[in-house]
Amino acid sequence: MTMTFGLTDELCNTQYAPLVALCAHYQKNQMLAPLEGVLIRQKKRDFSPTDKLIQVFLSILAGCTTLNEVNTRLESESCMAAVWGWERFADQSCLSRTLDLLTLKHLQQLHQATTEIWRAHSQVPSHNWRGYLWIDYDLSSLPCGPQAEKSQKGYISGKKT
């Protein structure tokens, strides 16, 4: 799949263009393929259980705080769905039913799959942990100057700052 960006005469509009590009990258590199190891027994009508797990993940990336937001935020996102080979996104009730079927065994498989995904793409294993880790925080509640980098007013135990 080759990605091109530009103007088109097609009737396709998305408010999640960066997420669509990220989806194309995930799809091209099969980054979410380990999710296929989560074996949920469920009828496949329009979407497989793996497709629904991916859609839950995408709803989180799209900023949905609950699954019922999928119907309003992602229902019209045919461009993002097309990247994954879907005509549309599943209804939130369909996603909820899939999550309701998860057992402890499925959660272990899901944990295994997500661990496999992040280990393959994380920089944590190659980080030099022998060096110092500097953590700088100030609990003195003294006011900071307006020239302090990223200074903001804060709240410390009821005192006005």
Q: With H, G, I as helix, E, B as strand and everything else as coil, classify residue 39.
A: coil
Q: What is the CA radius of gyration of the chain?
A: 21
Distance, in Å, from the CA atom of 158 to the CA atom of 155, rounded to the nearest integer, reads 7
Average pLDDT over residues 101-114: 93
First to last CA, the chain: 54
Q: How many domains, in total, are found in the chain? A: 1
- The pTM of the full predicted model, rounded to 2 decimals, is 0.69
- 98: in domain: yes
- 119: in domain: yes
**What does the pLDDT look like over 129-158, one tens digit per residue?**
787 766 666 666 666 666 766 666 665 666
- 134: in domain: no
- 6: in domain: no
- Rounded-to-10 torsion of CA 96, 99, 100, 106: 170
- Cβ burial 114-139 (10 Å sphere, 16+ → b, else e): eeebeeeeeeeeeeeeeeeeeeeeee
- 7: in domain: no
- 44: in domain: yes
- 43: in domain: yes
- Rounded-to-10 torsion of CA 44, 47, 49, 54: 180
From the number of C-beta atoms within 10 Å of its C-beta (0-12, 13-18, 19+), residue 13 rates as exposed
Distance, in Å, from the CA atom of 55 to the CA atom of 75, rounded to the nearest integer, reads 11
Residue-number span of the structural domain to which 65 is assigned: 17-124
- 118: in domain: yes
The CA–CA distances, whole Å, from 4 to 26, 31, 111, 133 equal: 16, 20, 34, 41
**What does the pLDDT look like over 62-107, one tens digit per residue?**
898 898 889 888 888 888 888 888 999 999 999 999 999 999 999 9
